[in-house]
Amino acid sequence: MPEHLITDLQNILGINYVLINEDMIPYLTDWRKKFTGKALAVLLPNSTEEIATIVKTCSKASVSIVPQGGHTGFCGGATPDISGKQVILNLKRMNQVRQIDVENQTITIEAGCILQSVQEIAAQQGFLFPLSLGAEGSCMIGGNLATNAGGTNVLRYGNTRDLCLGLEVVTAQGEIWDGLKGLRKDNTGYDLRGLFIGSEGTLGIITAAVMKLYPLPISQWTTLIAASDIPSTIAILNLFQKRATSLLTGFEMMTHESLKLTVKHFPKMANPLKNDPPFTILVELSDHESEDHVRKLLEDILAQAFDDGLVSDAVIATNLSQANTFWQMREHLTLAQAQEGANLKHDITIPLSALSAFILETDALVKKHYPGARILNFGHLGDGNLHYNIAPPEGVDYLAFNMNNEKAIHDLIYEQVEHFGGSISAEHGIGQLKLADLRNHKGAVAHELMKAIKQALDPKNTLNPNKVVSI
């Protein structure tokens, strides 16, 4: 690294926006505290042009760049390595709304906009921005795009990729690609937008995006449902899909074991359903028609589910505040698990038709090989997405348990995922956490194609090296 790099960067950004020494500390460790890296500097640009100049400067100095948004990702993608030779490029100052196009129903926002503020700005204009996840108060739209985040509304509105119509990206060569068109159709060759979405900062730096907006629903009904086993849970989902069709916006599943942990850390988050059922399902319906229509539909579907013997108990939220409490219970699963200790996380998808068999078989295997280990299974069941997390038996030290079993448990679960035709990453991405797992489970041809893309777009390996794929 040339000695004058820091001075060059200070000249580009101003001295206050090149953080060094202890000022870097908050940017070096991920949300779960699983990864801590070192860096030369943390850069805080506030324009696309500044980012382009930074990339050219760093590339010339052979210094690699780790893009960073809210640093809430679960795979260590935004955390630098331990060499101390990388720079972090945090996009938080790039937080302007560039345009709201009411007729086109789109919003053009910079990468550093906090997700929750985008939801709020959209709502002020009478629109819904449907991306929603537990970290929405701190994750940023650039990070959401770079990880192709999912969350709790995917069932109705799709994941971040489905919500994006256009991107502005700084390439690994420091060029600016202006793809900020709000078009719903554009078949002009390769899908560059699609390529950058989900690339976790390894192919380009996303600086702005055109995102879709939707009309705000006027009525929303939320219910908690008790089910005794996973086949009933899938049958309830299929019933809602058939009868509520596009009014079904959320279908989340929480096991007894995962809720038990939530109550341990957040005693107010008690399950209002009787007898702590094996499976608690949170369902949300929303509509643009009258309140009565959705409420009646929800009651009818629940009545049928009771008649069919699928449901043993259900509570419909009577007001928004109770609905929020149900969602809080769901969101606190992650917070409780973080407080308890760094468990072994799995963010997997399985085809719904294979999901029951996957859970029955995998639960049995985990119980056989790791007696007493806690299976903290919950997730976006409507999308076939499980967070199938494994914690040590009660009272056993997390660090020791993970050190002895981490690889074997990941291997066991990912082999099961492969066997049942699933994916080892549904929504959190790969980062540094699953680099080897991706190599083992993506398939050789697909993995080589990914490496070829990285090689073609970033031959000097300037952007987030050794995340997603190594070249």
Residues that bind ligand FAD (CB under 6 A): 31, 66-74, 77-78, 91, 111, 133-135, 139-140, 142-144, 146-147, 149-151, 200-201, 205-206, 334, 427-428, 431, 464, 467
Closest approach of ligand FAD to the CB of residue 400, in Å: 25
Closest approach of ligand MLT to the CB of residue 259, in Å: 13
Closest approach of ligand FAD to the CB of residue 126, in Å: 26
Closest approach of ligand FAD to the CB of residue 185, in Å: 25
Count other Cβ atoms within 10 Å, centred on residue 239.
17
Calpha distance 60→2 (Å, rounded): 10
Q: Does 231 bind ligand MLT (CB under 6 A)?
A: no
Q: 213-216: long-range contacts (C-beta < 8 A, 24 or more apart)?
A: 213/100, 213/105, 213/106, 213/107, 213/122, 213/125, 213/127, 213/128, 213/129, 214/105, 214/127, 214/128, 214/129, 214/130, 214/157, 215/126, 215/127, 215/128, 215/288, 216/123, 216/126, 216/127, 216/128
H/E stretch holding 454 reads helix 444-457
Query: What is 232-281 written as a DSSP string?
Result: HHHHHHHHHHHHHGGGEEEEEEEEHHHHHHHHHH-TT----STT--SEEE
Calpha distance 375→333 (Å, rounded): 13
Pairing of strands 97-101, 106-110: antiparallel
Q: Which does 193 bind (CB under 5 to 8 A by kind): ligand FAD, ligand MLT, none?
A: none
Q: Which does 387 bind (CB under 5 to 8 A by kind): ligand FAD, ligand MLT, none?
A: ligand MLT
Q: Which is nearer to ligand FAD, 73 or 392 (CB)?
A: 73
Q: Which is nearer to ligand MLT, 212 or 345 (CB)?
A: 345
Q: Contact letters (x/-) for ligand MLT, 357-386, by CB under 6 A? A: ----------------------x-------
Which residues lie below 8 Å from residue 46, measured CB to CB, with a gap of 6+?
17, 93, 94
Q: Which is nearer to ligand FAD, 106 or 337 (CB)?
A: 337
Site for ligand MLT in 277-336 (CB under 6 A): 334
Q: Which is nearer to ligand FAD, 223 or 337 (CB)?
A: 337
Q: Which is nearer to ligand MLT, 347 or 458 (CB)?
A: 347
> Which residue sits closest to ligand FAD, CB atoms considered?
143
Q: Which is nearer to ligand FAD, 392 or 431 (CB)?
A: 431
Compute the radius of gyration of the chain from its Cα atoms: 23
Q: Which is nearer to ligand MLT, 287 or 347 (CB)?
A: 347
Closest approach of ligand MLT to the CB of residue 58, in Å: 32
Q: Which is nearer to ligand FAD, 252 or 287 (CB)?
A: 252
Calpha distance 17→6 (Å, rounded): 11
Closest approach of ligand FAD to the CB of residue 108, in Å: 15
Calpha distance 283→49 (Å, rounded): 45
Q: Which is nearer to ligand MLT, 119 or 173 (CB)?
A: 119
Closest approach of ligand MLT to the CB of residue 430, in Å: 15
Q: Which of 156, 212, 387, 410 binds ligand MLT (CB under 6 A)?
A: 387
Closest approach of ligand FAD to the CB of residue 457, in Å: 13
Place of tokens 């900020």: 180
Phi, psi (rounded to 5 degrees) for 179: -115, 35
Q: Which of 98, 134, 243, 361 binds ligand MLT (CB under 6 A)?
A: 134
Closest approach of ligand MLT to the CB of residue 338, in Å: 8
Count other Cβ atoms within 10 Å, centred on residue 129.
26
Which residues lie below 8 Å from residue 118, measured CB to CB, with a gap of 6+?
97, 107, 109, 129, 131, 141, 211
Closest approach of ligand FAD to the CB of residue 95, in Å: 11
Q: What separation, in Å, do the N-terminal and C-terminal C-alpha atoms of the chain show?
A: 21
CB-facing half-sphere around the CA of 47: CA atoms within 13 A: 6
Site for ligand MLT in 328-347 (CB under 6 A): 334, 345, 347
Q: By the criterion CB under 6 A, which residues form the site for ligand MLT?
A: 134, 334, 345, 347, 379, 387
